Structure 1
Amino acid sequence: MCVIDISPQIETRRITLRAPAMADVSRLTALGGDRDISRMTTRMPWPYGRADAEDFVARCQAQDRRRDNTFAIDLEDEGVIGVLGLFTPPGGHLEIGYWIGKPYWGRGLATEACQGALSWTRQTWRKKLVVAGHFADNPASGQVLIKSGFLYTGVVETKPSVARGEAVATRMMVWLA
């Protein structure tokens, strides 16, 4: 097993995936504060404020990097545009989740971030299986995952959405190294 003591940094053509820092809080708050972002995630509250972003960064800094790695998605010449996380739920398989700020939608940045993270996951972290899910009412996220190499499992689970305050049908997918 690969032991990772510090947060890795992953470079792709246009973006850098790096550890979230307290200096990112204002930007995370501004982008993550859009209801269209938080309602498509399981964990982000609505409204999403500065205290939420500060708590998020603090939790990222305390991660056990053998099990979890969360990245700020940093676009060249723009700064932070979103977040990507690889996390292991209790009793579950490694899972990926992400969000991109609305001004950056439709530019292939989520796909680039996912592909970069999965390449690192396979080559450096030596993980062979990653699961993902997207809310059934968010087919764009499904397309990102398909372009990143995920396949649908045929399973639809009900997952919570903190922002929505309810459980949402979630189409499950799997990626194999």
Structure 2
Amino acid sequence: MQYDDIQQTLTTERLCLRLFDESDAATVTELCNNYNIYKSTLTLPYPYSVDCALSWIQQHRHNFDTDKHYEFAICDRATGEIYGAIALSNDQWYDHGEIAYWVGEPFWGKGYATEASEALLDFAFHVKKYHKVYARHFASNPASGQVLRKIGMIQEGILRDHVRKESHYEDLIYYGIVKR
């Protein structure tokens, strides 16, 4: 993983993780206005509108500049096509943060979430000097758990019926990794 502090981008073999721009709102809307994405995410609204995308994107620069939250577009390194998003929270008091991501359904199963998560983990430990990174996923989304295990995270616990999603409750499975 390479990090360009001036451009605020991370690059991997296939991907470029970069800050979102307002011009990305239409693509974000197209990818997020998908019930299968909604049902696997904690806070994503559905239906998802351009206004949702714009209000979300407009917060990113401030969050990044104030070291509160780092939100990146997951893009093809060669073409710039957006595949999804990945974020890292920053709890400076405890030297840790949470990774969260979504990938558009047309791009599922290609390893983009894993590759982006590995890059963000490296960013957390080596650039931001975190002690720990954690993540969580719905029990109904085991593919997300596979991504977390692939990047070396260990399951730390399950919060039973922790979140109400539509008409039912979901278990949240927590994973974590400590800097070695």
- Please give the TM-score of this superposition, normalised by the length of structure 1: 0.87
The alignment yields a C-alpha RMSD, in angstroms, of 2.3
Q: Which residue of 1 aligns with 2:163?
A: 159
Question: How many Å apart are 1:149 and its aligned residue?
Answer: 1.2
2:29 counterpart SS class: helix
Give the 5 Å matches for 1:95-134.
95-134=98-137
Change (3 A) 1:59 1:26: same
The code of the aligned residue for 2:163 comes to: K
Q: How far is the alpha carbon of 1:66 from its aligned partner? A: 2.0
1:66-85 Cα deviation digits (max 9, x unpaired):
23111011113251110001
Matched, 1:81 2:97: no
Cα deviation, residue 88, structure 1: 4.1
Structure with the bigger RCO (C-alpha within 8 Å, sep 6+) is: 1
The worse-fitting range, judged by mean Cα deviation, of 7-16 and 25-34 is: 7-16
Which residues of structure 1 form unaligned runs of 5+? none
- CA displacement at 1:165 relative to structure 2: 6.9
Instruction: Quote the sequence identity (%).
Output: 30
Q: Please tell me whether residue 57 in structure 1 is matched to residue 82 in structure 2.
A: no
Give the counterpart of 2:138 among 115, 128, 135. 135
For residues 32 and 25 of structure 1, do their structure 2 counterparts lie closer, same or farther at Cα, with a shift above 3 Å needed? same
Distance 1:141 1:96 in 2: 11
Structure 1 equivalent of residue 13 of structure 2: 13
* Alpha carbons 1:19, 1:72 under 8 Å: kept: yes
CA contact (8 A) 1:7 1:69 kept: no
Cα distance in 2 for residues equivalent to 1:136 and 1:31 = 22
* 1:67-109 residue CA offsets vs partner (Å, 9 max, x unmatched): 31110111132511100011147x8851110000011100111
Contact 1:42 1:160 in 2 (8 A): no
Q: Corresponding residue for 2:70?
A: 69
Question: When the two structures are aligned, how many residues end up with a matched partner?
Answer: 171
Residues in 1 aligned to 2:101 and 2:30: alpha-carbon distance in whole angstroms: 16
Once residues 144 and 173 of structure 1 are traced to their aligned partners in structure 2, the CA distance between those partners, rounded to angstroms, is: 11
Match of 1:141, SS state, is helix
Question: For 2:164 and 2:42, how far apart are their aligned partners in 1?
Answer: 6
Q: Secondary structure at the match of 2:124?
A: helix
